[in-house]
Structure 1
Amino acid sequence: MYTDKLLLVFMFSALNAQFSQTKYFLETEYIEVPLNHFAPSEEPNVFKLRYLINAEYYDETGPIFIYIGGKGDIFVQAQNSGFMFDIAPIFNALLIFVEHRYYGQSLPFGNDSFSSLKQLKYLSTAQALADFAFVSKYLKTTLSETDDRQPTVVAYGASYGGMLAAWLRMKYPYLVTGTIASSAPMFDFPGLTKCDTFYEKITQVYAEYGGEECVEMIKRGWDVIMASSKTKIGRRVFSELKICSKIETSKDVEKLLNWLQNIHVNMAMANYNYPTNVYTPLPAYPVKVFCDKLTSYYEISNKSFIQHYSRALEFYTNYTGNSLCNNINNENEDLTEIAWNFQTCTELISPRCSTENDMFVTNPWDYEEYAQNCNARFGVKDVRPEGAILAYGGKDLKYYSNIIFSNGEMEPWSSATVSDNVSDSIFSIKIPDATNQLDLRKFDPTDNIYVAETRKFHIHTITQWLENEH
């Protein structure tokens, strides 16, 4: 039934070109889901989960393409998932984007959802997967006239959402026929991936697009900051970074280092081949833009270096040119940060350390300190580093089927993703010169041949999944 539609693959680029600048139309719906899927309740303990719909190309012969929301607002994630919109006409697919509980507008207790552990205890991957399964079952049932002719569901997800999409296929194979998991760090847990690989990959990205000189100058930046922070006169150079508040204490210096490190990580994550607005408006290949500026001529003094460094960063820190200063003292976590920090304190523990082999300040992984911080922040006393491994099997994926794990070779998560084919139905695709979840983003004329071939493979495999269902 879908075989003939594969001919449309050869028209893929032309088809996608018209969507390259599109803001996608989405209708908003809410569905009541159980607060706790795994225990009986005396009351109808439910809350409203948000999901978005695009039915522009859907007919009764088509499948349901369901995007599994990760951390953050589902509307933003949908607008950055253009591949699904691009291929919907090929398959007459219904597009559904389901928000993760405790993110965006899907707050079980409204404004009180983060007030204590009593409310937060329902935030887990198991409960979220049950939400997605609940929505999938509801859609399959309501869109079919008979139980034996229900529409096929294909799941998509990126980063944390990619992990969830893969786990959804693994846990609920009777509901989800196949999954495309892009940039999914499935093995980013203690004992599965070394703690230093993330920052080493970031360093590799800067070396690849900016050269070793850029990496060495970033390293020098940390040395200059640490040396300058030791005296009151030395700390005056920090004014060149246009920080809103004075850098006076060791805690202030730590905040400054973390702020700069996060910028470098974000630039690597958003190092796309075209301008984007994922973290802030950025040009194409922002790592290269930054490194070209940083490695241009500068004078040797600490003050001159910091001033030069600040100017190189301005395209990120002050893209509009209207910002008077950079605020590194924002103590108010947004709700997304609170939810994610809770998850990384309970079951999604990802060890991070930096060493002399990367471009960041050396910082070891200390589990005991991590656990103490989680206890102080959320009252979590049983931080379990093995939780996700016990729940989902770690690297042992040979018993599952119909999952594509795709990742860019120049993305920070690539060291923790599925790097080799597991079987004849669980595939690993490595995309050269590509960063985070590029294959699930919209078509762009500057996409390289490897991205195009990956998307063709997705289309071909989805076609096979659907044909095998009928």
Structure 2
Amino acid sequence: MACEGRVLLLRGVTLLVGFSVCAVVQGQVKGFRRFGHVQRVQRGAASEEQWFTQKLDHFNGADPREWKQRYFVNENFYKPGGPVFLMIGGEGPANPAWMQHGTWLTYAEKVGALCLMLEHRFYGKSHPTVDLSTDNLRFLSSRQALADLAHFHTKIAEDRGLTNRKLVAFGGSYPGSLAAWFRLKYPHLVHASVATSAPVHATVNFPEYLEVVWRSLASENPECPRLVKKASDALVERLKDPKTHDNITKDFNLCSRLQIQTEMDSAYFLETLAGNFMDVVQYNEDNRGFEGVTGTNITIKVLCGVMADSSLGDPYARYAAVARLMMDTFSMKCLDASYTTNLRDMTNTSWEGPAAGGGRQWVYQTCTEFGFYQSTDSPNQPFTGFPLAYHVKQCAAYYNVSAAQLAEAVAQTNEYYGGYDIRSSRIVFPNGSIDPWHALGITKDITANLPAVFIKGTAHCANMYPARSEDLAQLDLARDHVSLLLQQWLKQ
């Protein structure tokens, strides 16, 4: 999901969870806001990238243009007659590490599945157009992505003699939504789906994200979110006085002197710092520390420990200490919190541009399909200063998308997919209670054939990562439950 939609260097991630498929890469974006002993599910050489010819526009038969889409294959578990597992790429480069590690491979081994992963159009090396101009980005949408998946599966099945094999779709975060929607829109192709941490309901304003951040911080220490709020409020007051800006620049180790000329400048700075907490909460204690996937040992417990350490000074000083800790963790020399720099990067349309790793593309999708803006428009959350209006103005600045166009696009998305009221079968929806994205997902069974698996105490996409001895019992049970569901559904 993902990871969520803005370009923040400190995010330590990208919107991927994919940022792809739940994996985060420092210095990209945050779409859906990632160490420990790792059980390696499968050993062997990493999958080699392969290429598939796709149509540029699946919905215009008069447009003959084509392009090459990247995909990966793992045949190590396949047994004749077995199903096909398809991991869906998301808002970042498809990571071949997923062809060697992850819960889905445990499932594949049990049922003898052929494993495929398809990179999402416009992310990673899958470049359908010569650049990322707004005109070209009109070919970037979840609907085109689903059509890519359908055509890919159809042709691969024909080429490999798999036309009668059952297909199971997997995805986490935004790709989790795609997994659910793939089953919904192409039921003749997709037999079942595992839609992990999937925000299936689109919404322009998503203040509930930060409300979950408050509750998740409070689960460690009830005083923790209150201290964060005091620090955030104190920073907002200091920003009002230009005389404090030199000290703020030093306190937060900014790459250039803090310049607050518009509300966008202050909002971007405040959101950047809040992102330290948002990201850690979203990926708290997950198991991303395996080969090819970035992880961190910074947890909610660590952040709340810093915020409770009075020896560091007042809450504002502790807030700054958190920022420095995160920079040290990701080996950042300084924090670039300049909206002017962000605007320049996000409007660079080159494939070599600083936001081409996923930021420009994902935020475009939020502006034209999903919203998902994690605003401070709720009193029940710990931050101040980046309201919905700030996010909406970015859509206009980056892509000339108006507030009205954004609202209509989000309404159309829910109309097309059904939002929370999805009508289908054989889709399981795992979510973690710590993960703020669960607020837009399915956390209670819709029907017996559309079950939810709500995992208390776990974060974004936790059930997708390789199992380890430190995992909570409920996480182990959730993985087993999904496995049993898949075995049951594959017999239907």
* TM-score (ref. length: structure 1): 0.85
Give the counterpart letter for 2:472 in structure 1. Answer: N
Q: Distance in 2 between matches of 1:296 and 1:372?
A: 37
Q: Aligned in 2, Cα 1:295/1:274: closer, same or farther, shift over 3 Å?
A: farther
Contact 1:183–1:413, Cα closer than 8 Å, also in 2 = yes
Q: 1:18 to 1:363 in 2, by over 3 A?
A: closer
Q: Deviations over 1:353-412 (max 9, x none)?
A: 32221101155434xx76664344223453323011121122322x41000011001111
Structure 1 distance, partners of 2:293, 2:237, is 30
Q: How many Å separate the matches in 2 of 1:310 and 1:374?
A: 29
Count of aligned pairs between the two proteins: 434
SS of 1:404's equivalent in the other structure is: strand
Alignment match, 2:208:
197
Question: Are 1:128 and 2:152 matched, yes or no?
Answer: no
2:382 corresponding residue in structure 1: 359
Relative distance call for 1:54 and 1:247 in structure 2 (3 A) is: same
Contact 2:68 2:128 in 1 (8 A): yes
Residue 93 of structure 1 corresponds to: 113
8 Å contact kept, 1:68–1:161? yes
Counterpart pick for 1:48 among 68, 80, 87: 68
Shift of 1:343: 1.0
The one of 60, 76, 84 equivalent to 2:104 is: 84
CA distance in structure 2 between the partners assigned to 1:371 and 1:300 by the alignment: 36
CA contact (8 A) 2:93 2:119 kept: yes
2:50 to 23, 29, 36: 29
Q: State how far apart, in whole Å, the 2-side matches of 1:273 and 1:103 are.
A: 24
Shift, 1:232, TM fit: 4.2
Query: Structure 1 residues 39 and 236, CA, compared in 2 at 3 Å: closer, same or farther?
Result: closer
2:48 paired with 1:39: no
Deviating more after overlay: 272-281 vs 433-442: 272-281
Residue 291 of structure 1 deviates from its aligned partner by: 1.0
| 1:165 and 2:179 aligned | yes
1:339 is the counterpart of 2:349: no
**Which is worse superposed, 164-173 or 307-316?**
307-316
Counterpart Cα distance in 2 of 1:350 and 1:231: 32
TM-superposed CA distance for 1:169, in Å, is: 0.2
Report the Cα distance in structure 2 between the residues aligned to 1:260 and 1:19, rounded to whole angstroms. 35
The answer to whether 1:154 aligns with 2:168 is: yes
Match of residue 68, structure 1, among 63, 88, 101: 88
Q: Per-residue deviation at 1:98?
A: 0.7
Distance 2:325 2:43 in 1: 25
Query: Is the 8 Å Cα contact of residues 272 and 435 (structure 1) preserved in structure 2?
Result: yes
- TM-score, normalised via structure 2 length: 0.81
Amino acid at match of 2:59: F
Structure 1 residues 380 and 361, CA, compared in 2 at 3 Å: closer, same or farther? Answer: closer
CA distance in structure 2 between the aligned counterparts of 1:351 and 1:315, rounded to whole angstroms: 26
1:387 to 399, 402, 412: 412
Amino acid at match of 1:203: W
1:297 corresponds, among 310, 316, 335, to 310
1:212 is paired with a residue whose SS is coil
SS at match of 1:406: strand
1:447-466 equivalences in 2 (<5 Å): 447-466=471-490
In 1: Cα distance, 2:257 partner to 2:44 partner: 41
Greater shift in the superposed pair: 427-436 or 370-379: 370-379
- What CA deviation, in whole Å up to 9, does each residue of 1:39-86 have, x standing for no partner? 1126x3111111111111212222111011111111168369611222
- Structure 1 stretches of 5 or more lacking a match? 1-15
Q: Which moved more, 1:237-246 or 1:69-78?
A: 69-78
Contact 1:82 1:440 in 2 (8 A): yes
Equivalent residue for 2:300? 287
Q: Post-superposition shift, 1:168?
A: 0.3
| Matched residue type, 1:156 | F
> Which residue number in structure 1 is paired with residue 4 of structure 2?
none
User: What SS is found at the alignment partner of 2:481?
Assistant: helix
Q: Does 1:116 align with 2:134?
A: yes
**Do the aligned residues in 2 keep the contact of 1:200 with 1:357 (CA within 8 Å)?**
yes
Relative to structure 1, the CA distance from residue 374 to residue 430 in structure 2 (aligned partners, 3 Å threshold; closer, same or farther) is same
- Alignment match, 1:271: 284
SS, match of residue 244 in structure 1? coil
Q: 1:152, CA displacement in angstroms?
A: 1.3
Identity of aligned residues (%): 25
Tell me the amino acid that sits aligned with residue 224 of structure 2.
C
In 1: Cα distance, 2:42 partner to 2:234 partner:
42
Look up the match of 1:13.
none
Corresponding position of 2:328: 318
The 1:38/1:273 distance shift into structure 2, 3 A limit, reads closer
Q: How far off is 1:280 after superposition?
A: 6.1
Q: C-alpha distance in 2, partners of 1:308/1:372?
A: 31
Aligned equivalent of 1:175: 189
Q: CA deviation at 1:89?
A: 1.8
Name stretches of at least 5 consecutive residues in structure 2 with no aligned partner.
1-36, 347-354
Say which of 200, 214, 221 aligns to 1:186. 200
Residue 266 of structure 1 contacts residue 279 of structure 1 at CA under 8 Å; is this kept in 2? Answer: no
Please point out which of 220, 230, 236 is paired with 2:246: 236
- Greater mean deviation of Cα atoms: 96-105 or 237-246: 237-246
Q: Mean alpha-carbon deviation: is it higher for 331-340 or for 79-88?
A: 79-88
Worse-matched range after superposition: 345-354 or 335-344:
345-354
Q: CA deviation at 1:307?
A: 4.1
Q: Which secondary structure state, in structure 2, belongs to the residue aligned with residue 31 of structure 1?
A: strand
Report how far residue 29 of structure 1 moved.
Answer: 0.9
User: Distance in 2 between the 1:121 and 1:77 partners?
Assistant: 30
Matched-pair contact (CA < 8 Å) for 2:266–2:385: no
Deviates more, 1:61-70 or 1:76-85: 76-85
- Cα contact 2:202–2:419 (8 A) shared by 1: no
What do the CA deviations read for 1:125-157 (whole angstroms, capped 9, x no partner)?
A: 111100001111122222227x5xx22110001
Contact 1:64 1:152 in 2 (8 A): yes
Give the partner amino acid of 1:361: T
Alpha-carbon shift at residue 275 of structure 1 (Å): 6.6
CA drift of 1:274 comes to 5.0
Structure (1 or 2) with the larger CA radius of gyration: 1
